[in-house]
Amino acid sequence: MDENYRQFIHAFFSFLLIVFFLIFGQILTSYFLILVLVAFLFLAHFKALRFQIPFVDELLDLLERDRHYPFKGAILYLIGALLLVCFVPEKSLVLVSLSCIGFGDAASTIFGRLGKTRIWWSKKKTFIGSLFFFLFSLPLAILFKGISSLPLVFILAFAESFDFIDDNIFLPVVVILLWALKVI
């Protein structure tokens, strides 16, 4: 498994999802995410039953961290994106959040491995990873929502530094809660 390639795919799929969302809107994007999620759940089920699926097996060898839970990262990402698209009605906020989850998360993983100083509340995360999450998220956040997105990007960079739950789920839940509480 090549972690840099995995993170590139993560960011690239986020880019495609953002473009899809911009072209087709929230309703069609939610249907698309449900369709893709169901497809990945079926693939994961067949892989758990030890079916051999040639292209899928090569993809898993290249991208999957944990062979015991095939497509776990993709499935959690799709669930998180679906939560955002379904529960956050503000288009610009969905776009900022998808940008952070796609590009910020990928950057934090790639560059965070270079950092030596661990964040004291996290066993795996580094300060440099959080910094790069913020730096890679900010340009698109400003593009989609303006400078008012700065606090959200900061909050998500902080939230991403916790490792008790997968950030593909945790970050969308943070955004939904902040939106529901009228904080953002």
Give one DSSP letter per residue of 74-129, joined into a string. Answer: HHHHHHHHHHHHHH---HHHHHHHHHIIIIIHHHHHHHHTT---B-TT-SS-BHHH
Cα–Cα distance list, 136 to 65, 70, 130, 132, 153 (Å):
23, 28, 10, 6, 10
pLDDT for the residue numbered 19:
98
pLDDT for the residue numbered 34:
98
pLDDT for the residue numbered 3:
83
Cβ(138)–Cβ(100) below 8 Å? no
pLDDT for the residue numbered 148:
95
| Per-residue tens of pLDDT for the chain, all 184 residues | 678 888 999 999 999 999 999 999 999 999 999 999 999 999 888 888 888 888 777 777 766 666 667 888 899 999 999 999 999 999 999 999 999 999 999 999 999 988 878 888 888 899 999 999 999 999 999 999 999 999 999 999 999 999 888 999 999 999 999 999 988 8
Cα–Cα distance list, 126 to 109, 129, 132, 181 (Å):
9, 5, 10, 29
Cβ(134)–Cβ(103) below 8 Å? no
pLDDT for the residue numbered 65:
65
| Residue 86 CB partners (closer than 8 Å, separation 6+) | 26, 30
- When divided into structural domains, the chain yields a total of 1
pLDDT for the residue numbered 68:
64
CA 70 to CA 92: how far, in whole Å?
Answer: 32
Tokens found for residue 2: 């090549």
pTM of the model: 0.91
Q: Which domain holds residue 118?
A: 3-180
Length of the chain: 184
Cβ(105)–Cβ(10) below 8 Å? yes
CA 156 to CA 137: how far, in whole Å?
Answer: 9
Radius of gyration for the alpha carbons in the chain, expressed in angstroms and rounded: 16
